[in-house]
Structure 1
Amino acid sequence: MMLLSLLANPVVRPECHHPSLKPMLSTRARRNMIRCAEGISLWLAMVLMLFVHPLYAEARAMESEQPGQLYLVDRKSAWQEPALVLDSRFDVQVTGLLAQTHLTRTFRNTSDVWQEGLFVFPLPEQTSVYGLTMTVGERRIVGQLQPRAQARQNYEKAKQAGQKAATVEQNRPNLFTSRIANIAPGEEVTVEVQYQQPVNYRHGEFELRLPTTLTPRYMPGAPVATPASAWQSGWSLPTTQVADADEISPFTVLPDDVNPGSHRATIQLDIEAGLPVDEVTSPSHPLQVELEGSRATVSPEQGQILMDRDVIVRWRPADNQAPTAALFRQQWQGEDFLMAMVMPPATTGQVLRRELLFVIDTSGSMAGESIRQARSALLRGLDTLRPGDRFNVIQFNSQAHALYTQPVPANGHYLARARDYVQDLTADGGTEMAGALSLAMGMDGSESSGHVQQMVFMTDGAVGNESALFDQIRTGLGNRRLFTVAIGSAPNMHFLREAARWGRGQYTAVHSAAEVDKALGKLFAAMEAPVMTDVEVQWPGNAAQPVPAKPGDLFHGQPLLQVVRGAPSEGELTVSGRLPGGRSWRTSLDLASAAPGKGLDRQWARGRIDAVMDSARLAGTEPDEAAIVELSLSHGVMSPFTSFVAIEERVSRPEGESLNQEAVPTLLPAGSQPGMLRYPQTATFGPLLTALGLVGLMFSLAIVMLSRRQTL
């Protein structure tokens, strides 16, 4: 382009502008021709700009920081024709406070080549995975739990040998990867994952959440170079802060990008509540409910549902039937396991002055319905402030910004300015949570003046560096308590729950705008003060091993939950604590009254594994891998260091047949903006650069013609 501009200048190339070289045309004719050429050039330039804009947008998406009949990704990360169809079925059995789920994934290979499928998917944040089964035709292969490296090695060996194989690995406590090798052309392979999760019980209502997709996570840190030949199964490269970013960044597409028969789920819940149920509802899907006494059969009203949001089911006991205590017992391999639930009395104490820091996520993943929910939640929080309270508002995306340099009194002027500020917030950029936490933790508190220091963190939790953030919360929060609000249709509940736990607070979730008042009302009521502190739990005998070993403070509407191994079958369980105002409280439960339970051994093992991980975090050391593997294998529960693998003995893929690798995407969560789509790289930057070059040529031609006009 610069060369053409120089050529257009008669001072640089006078020979090109010698009068003797001009065409023998009249001045008027030459001017008309130049005007015509200029007009055509401008129109072509506009057309090229319209062509360049989508290419530029695509290129930006490919380099941004930012899971089957189905479009898939090959070794070259190219968008391919349909190869696999993905069907899912959730069969859930709820008994008391635990839910057992059989999650069945069916992969159908509609291509004419052998396939290996890879699918990154979410599970509930307190999941205990305890089984894997692969079915091919009439053949059923039961998976084995093995140390992670050994399971991966056995899977790869079977894959190379042409054997059918499937494996499931844990990437995060709520994020897993499934691989299925050697699916023949036209063949169907079914993989069933069995897991359990605790039922959430708060404020007199039970709730179960089934994730079906995930919000693309922000991966802080600089990208780490990977071998050029490595197959990239996700949209992100590993970074200096998230070493496994490539393993937890499945491609994210629109429902229209997949076949109408793919990424649909069938769901059925069979609930045995153990007490009369008054109603079953859902904020996420219309339900079909068959209710009879303490039993309920529940499924989505529309049948198959799109896997673009969490499925949330709630049930409420009949009037005056809400439990205040419950005991369950299971005998497993000759040992007794018990689960206890105790609800503290609903008492209130002195209303204390508070210093509230509201931290709101305004990153790109919050764009759309999520930022609207977050703004409503924050405005609701401002309404709870009373005279004498102090507050501040901090928003963060790629950077953090505080409305005021320090917390200010909750009076009319400051509150009015804060409301205007919140209503103007928009969502864009990265999710640099660490900077927001540092800014909030670094503010001078008012503890010396009698204010209770609290922080309310509103986010979808879409980050890949959860562990580092937990460390930051644990070491830097000081005397503040952290309360989290999960925003959006598919939030990272593991992060929201654990952040609140390390921050000695509580968490809640806002699934829709209609839920803001209800959810936030309960949270801010709980924030007034803990209902019970100095909680002590005493099991009879000396061999009891409870998890958690030391319960934390309890808030309004929150029960005490503890699972124990080795307690005797008789005797009394005693729970005590301190109520607001310093009053003591104590209650006892007869162990002989325990109802039959199921899965308590797995729940205990999962709690023990979490305790070992917590101990390492507190000590600043690596977790005791050997102890975790031993717990995992002895109780049949997956851990960060163990995986399930199922291998068919016979060889399926003939020697000489190649194996294609395909990464199955997840769907964009409902309410998210297109900016959060994470497509595979469909092309290089060549088309963009070519188009930009053509635009440059057009502008250069315009300069040439303008110079010629001036010489006429």
Structure 2
Amino acid sequence: MTATSPTTDPAIAPDRGPDHSGGLGALRTDRGNLPLDRLHVRADITGLVSRVELTQDFVNVHDAALEATYVFPLPDRAAVTGMRMVAADRVVEAKLAERGAAREEYDRAIAAGRRASIAEQERPDVFTMRVGNIVAGERVSVTLTLAGPLPQEDGAATFRFPLVVAPRYVPGAPLPGPAVGDGHAPDTDAVPDASRISPPVLLAGFPNPLRLSIDVGIDPAGLPLAAVRSSLHTVVEEDGRLRVRPGERADRDFVLRLAYGDPDGAPAASLVTVPDAEGDEGTFQLTVLPPAVTDRPRPRDVVLLLDRSGSMQGWKMVAARRAAARIVDTLGAADRFAVLAFDHVVEGVDTLPAGLVAATDRHRFRAVEHLAGVRARGGTELLEPLQRGLGLLAADEPGRDRVLVLVTDGQVGNEDQILREAAAGLTDVRVHTVGVDRAVNAGFLGRLAAAGAGRCELVESEDRLDEAMATIHRRIGAPLVTGLAAAAEGLDVVAGSLVPGRLPDLFPGVPYVVAGRYRGTPTGGITLSGTTRDDRAWSAAARARPGGTAALTAIWARARLRDLEDRYASSTTDDPATLERTIVETSLRFGVLCRFTAHLAVDSRVVAEGGPDHRIVQPVEPVSGWEPPAGPLAVGRLTPLSPAAGAPAFVRQSASEGSVRAARGATPLAAPSPVPPAPPAAGPAAAGAVDGPAALAAREARRLRDLAGRPAHERREALDDLGSRLAALADDGPLRDLAEALRPEAVRGRPLDELLADVLRVLDAVAAGSAAGSAPRRDRRRSFWRRT
């Protein structure tokens, strides 16, 4: 086995030491570091299946008991099958329970002073861990066990393990009442659980807050393995295993690509079965290799959506523009296309007619020329451009394939809303997604591509782009076989058990995988049939044979739960209560975590009378490759429950004035996300944490006036930034009202000069003290929420 790693790049592997230049701020504690001390990933890859143990070590360096909360990602297709908690000399195996009941039991245990931990799923790839009653000086380790498939394309398998939840754009109006989580984003009508998926973010340059170790063993299981490549981390081979070098940060995905070849004489189709340990049922998996390409694709209507939102700043925007231009260049004279770039507004190519245009050399040149000038800005309002793109493809013309290609980092929080409101248009349009990021939202992009019977391609670096574009070019053409159906003979398939629920098309270079459940003894096989793109009948058959691993059942269960959860999020015809019961029953029967269940570990020993004195939300790393935003960053939140508990102090340095301000207690700060956090807490604990409204307004007015004479797009971007800063820094009152008035949906269509004049009038009035009064704070938190 030959392992290769990327050349060290400061943008990928930043300096491990502290930022002595001062930067935008820092987080310090009186008695040590943050509670999460170590992340250890131990993975064993056998053929095309991975088994992973993820261990999170929490350490309490304070004098009193604490509860730690950590929001973290996992591979979106991996099945979480177990959890155990280890503290001192005690090992507690977790149980899987309905989520509401598990929360109640966890809360009772914490209040009674017992040590406990709970793991919950927020998104297919975002999870929350809470560990309560960690006593002074104690280390508590929580280990999750996972099993997942390795996707394979063109002979290469990919093992991707995400390490950080990137900030996600959260649209919608804030909801009243208590928040459902401890994150910085307010819950909204579009993302009712935004506060559960928006962990605070450490300042760039903050000393490495945790020890990261990744250890991977690879058993090809009979497949010829030529080489292994690590695209974002440096790895070394020791004792037959690959290990990430010490000192790496958890700020980007860990990606291994395994160059597998097809073994000599490999069948075009195989069907493996795994019986259950008890009962007369089992799990099967059908794998079909794609046929050779022998004909030309049909003419296409292609709509290209390019994300130019603020989170795409830097290398991502460069890579996305190149990807989009390459897609346009691959179109032929018989194709038609449209290009839409979007942030909080949607714009086409102003030198081309509206709608679909013929892919002539002139039209393609103008589109590529336009793409070269696209710059990152604004918020990721994805639903509107998606609906507009689907609308352009609504006309069903015989003999033409309708394709939508989305190029984005996928960093949105309203995934369920997007899938629900776009579902009707996805049924007859093939949707391909191209994810560009080092911490990409793979869960959402995979869900969207599956709903549109397309493919999802992930690009984690510019070096990877050219390789990825070669495969994307092949995928956006018409698939090799469509209208696929599976027919079983001599195999009693359990009704409704096939995954994916909507059988996709067969694409070049991509093995076709379908799994399901069966009853009795398998004596026959399955035939997969469909129609080639030149309208010929095609079929492939395989007979059942034993040989699958036990992990196959967990992987099937995870895929089945994903299908059911997507139906729950997007269906307008299914009964939600019935779907929820089915999801919970499937989760509990097969021991796989889902959005309506939780893994719960509770120690019987009382270790902290009265419960924890502190609650700490673990901040996450700034994502590698993201451009640092203007203004202060989120550095975390600690809520002291006891005034004498010796809470950490947060220190923030203003980017514009360099003044250092400290506050004790609960002080949420702004985050590097298009959506701001809740405002700082009122009262003595926050005194001096931010500028007064008059000074703040005067400074922002000066910034706007300094832009006089600058291009319109720069002044528009300055207003977008102003709205985010005011929402982060201003309490209720005129400045908070101004922040609301500057939301993208509120200013859409207003003349720029008129808008600037109105904004300056408000800022000048507040700076002069005539409008500096503060209205009572609005309570933006709400009651417990379970369903997105």
- Relative distance call for 1:318 and 1:477 in structure 2 (3 A) is closer
Instruction: Say if 2:123 and 2:595, in contact at 8 Å, map to a contact too.
Output: yes
Task: Go from structure 1 to structure 2 and tell me whether the alpha carbon gap of 1:272 and 1:328 turns closer, same or farther (over 3 Å shift).
Answer: farther
Give the direction of change, closer, same or farther, for the CA distance of 1:183–1:198 in structure 2 (3 Å limit).
Answer: same
The match for 1:338 is 284
- In 2, the alpha carbon distance for the partners of 1:638 and 1:575 equals 31
> What secondary structure does 1:624 align onto?
helix
Alpha carbons of 1:494 and 1:159: their partners in 2 closer, same or farther (altered >3 Å)?
same
Using the alignment, how far apart are the partners of 1:315 and 1:544 within structure 2?
A: 33
Render the CA deviation track for 1:600-624: whole Å, top value 9, x for unaligned.
2222322333343455544254152
Instruction: Quickly say closer, same or farther: Cα 1:348–1:297, change in 2 above 3 A.
Output: farther
**Does residue 1:649 correspond to 2:604, yes or no?**
yes
Once residues 210 and 271 of structure 1 are traced to their aligned partners in structure 2, the CA distance between those partners, rounded to angstroms, is: 18
Report if aligned partners of 1:458, 1:484 keep a CA contact under 8 Å in 2. Answer: yes
Shift in alpha-carbon separation, 1:694–1:513, aligned structure 2, 3 A? closer
| Aligned twin of 1:506 | 455
Task: Name 2:561's counterpart in structure 1.
Answer: 609
Aligned residue for 1:312?
Answer: 255
Superposition map of 1:36-47 within 5 A: none
The TM-score, its normalising length taken from structure 2, stands at 0.73
Q: Which residue is equivalent to 2:471?
A: 522
**1:687 matched residue in structure 2:** 691
Deviation track 1:70-103 (CA, whole Å, cap 9, x = no partner) reads 9489xxxxx9973424311111122233211110
Q: CA 1:344/1:647 → structure 2, altered by over 3 Å: closer, same or farther?
A: same
Q: 1:379 aligns with which of 325, 333, 339?
A: 325
CA 201–318 in structure 1, closer or farther in 2 if over 3 Å, else same:
closer
Secondary structure of the residue aligned to 1:582 is coil
Change (3 A) 1:91 1:356: same
Unaligned runs of 5+ in 2: 1-21, 637-667, 670-679, 681-685, 703-763, 769-788
From the superposition, tell whether residues 139 and 81 of structure 1 become closer, same or farther in structure 2 (CA, over 3 Å).
closer
CA distance in 2, matches of 1:689, 1:80: 34
Change (3 A) 1:469 1:538: same
Cα distance, 1:187–1:641 mapped onto 2, change above 3 Å: same
Alignment match, 1:670? 624
The 1:691–1:142 alpha-carbon spacing in structure 2 relative to 1, beyond 3 Å, is: same
The change in CA–CA distance for 1:579 and 1:388 in structure 2 (over 3 A counts) is closer
Alpha-carbon offset, residue 586 of structure 1: 2.8
Q: Confirm or deny: 8 A CA contact 2:223 2:262 kept in the other structure.
A: no
Decide whether aligned partners of structure 1 residues 130 and 688 sit closer, same or farther in structure 2, where only a CA change above 3 A counts: same
| AA in 2 matched with 1:199 | L
CA distance in 2, matches of 1:580, 1:109: 61
Give the SS at the match of 2:191: coil
- The answer to whether the 8 Å contact 2:485/2:528 transfers is yes
* 8 Å Cα contact 2:114/2:607 also seen in 1: yes
Change (3 A) 1:402 1:317: same
Match of 1:626 among 561, 581, 592: 581
Aligned residue-pair number: 620
What aligned pairs does 1:120-131 form with structure 2 within 5 A after superposition?
A: 120-131=71-82
Aligned to 1:33: none
Q: Are 1:573 and 2:530 matched, yes or no?
A: no
Moved more, 583-592 or 148-157: 583-592
Q: Give the whole-Å Cα distance in 1 for the aligned partners of 2:273 and 2:243.
A: 29
| 1:591 partner SS | strand
1:640 paired to 2:595: yes
Instruction: Label 1:282 to 1:662 Cα distance change in 2 as closer, same or farther (>3 A).
Output: same
Contact map agreement 1:109 1:187 (CA 8 A) in 2: yes
Query: Which of 544, 550, 556 is the aligned partner of 1:591?
Result: 544
**In structure 1, what residue type is equivalent to 2:595?**
P
1:659 maps to 2:617: no
Paired-residue identity, %:
29
Post-superposition offset of 1:278 = 1.0
CA contact (8 A) 1:266 1:304 kept: no
Q: How does 1:363-442 map to 2 (within 5 A)?
A: 363-403=309-349, 404=352, 405-442=354-391
Amino acid at match of 2:585: E
Partners of 2:498 and 2:241 in 1: CA distance: 31
Q: 1:516 to 1:239 in 2, by over 3 A?
A: same
If the length of structure 1 is used for normalisation, what is the TM-score? 0.81
Instruction: String of CA shifts for 1:608-667, please: whole Å, max 9, x gaps.
Output: 333434555442541522222222112111121110100000100134x75200000111
1:139 equivalenced with 2:90 (yes/no): yes
- CA distance in 1 between counterparts of 2:543 and 2:399 reads 42
Q: Quick check: which has more Rg, 1 or 2? A: 1
In structure 2, give the amino acid aligned to 1:582. Answer: D
1:238-277 CA-partner distances (Å, limit 9, x unpaired)? 10111101011111224532x4351523332333443221
Q: Please point out which of 290, 297, 300 is paired with 1:351.
A: 297
SS in 1 for 2:143: strand
- Aligned residue for 2:242? 298
Distance of aligned partners of 1:72 and 1:380 in 2 relative to their CA distance in 1, 3 Å threshold: farther
Q: Is the 8 A contact 1:551 1:560 kept in 2?
A: no
Q: Contact between 2:117 and 2:130, CA under 8 Å: does it hold in 1?
A: yes
Mapping of 1:51-70 within 5 angstroms?
Answer: none
Partners of 2:355 and 2:392 within 8 A in 1: yes
Matched to 2:332, the amino acid is R
CA-to-aligned-CA distance 1:397-433 (integer Å, 9 cap, x gap): 1111111422222223322322221111111211100
d(CA) in 1 for partners of 2:379 and 2:634?
A: 15
Question: Judging changes above 3 Å, is the alpha-carbon distance between structure 1 residues 416 and 483 closer, same or farther for their aligned structure 2 residues?
Answer: same
Aligned to 1:270: 218
Contact 1:94 1:269 in 2 (8 A): yes
Residue 492 (structure 1) shift? 0.6
Matched position secondary structure for 1:313: strand
Structural mapping, 1:112-511, within 5 Å: 112-227=63-178, 233-254=182-203, 256-257=205-206, 259-260=207-208, 262=210, 264-289=212-237, 297-300=241-244, 302-318=245-261, 321=264, 324-334=268-278, 335-403=281-349, 404=352, 405-443=354-392, 447-448=396-397, 450-477=399-426, 479-511=428-460
Q: Within 2, Cα distance between the matches of 1:395 and 1:495?
A: 20
State whether residues 36 and 56 of structure 2, in contact with CA within 8 Å, keep that contact through their aligned partners in structure 1: no
Per chain length, whose mean CA-contact separation is higher, i.e. which structure has more relative contact order (CA < 8 Å, sep 6+)?
A: 1
| Selected match of 1:561 from 513, 535, 545 | 513
Q: Is the 8 A contact 2:67 2:612 kept in 1?
A: no
* CA distance, structure 2, for counterparts of residue 215 and residue 111 of structure 1: 29
- Offset, 1:687: 1.9
Equivalents in 2 of 1:281, 1:99: separation in Å? 16
Tell me the CA shift for residue 588 of structure 1.
2.8
Offset from partner CA, 1:661-692 (integer Å, 9 cap, x none): 00001111111011295445356675243635
More helix by share: 1
Q: Answer whether contact 2:72 2:163 (CA < 8 A) is retained.
A: yes
In the aligned structure 2, how far is the partner of 1:693 from the partner of 1:128?
A: 50
* Separation (CA, whole Å) in 2 of partners of 1:587 and 1:150: 47
Structure 1 residues 321 and 472: CA distance shift in structure 2, 3 A: farther
* Structure 2 counterpart SS, 1:415: helix
Mapped contact 1:95–1:274 kept (Cα < 8 A): no
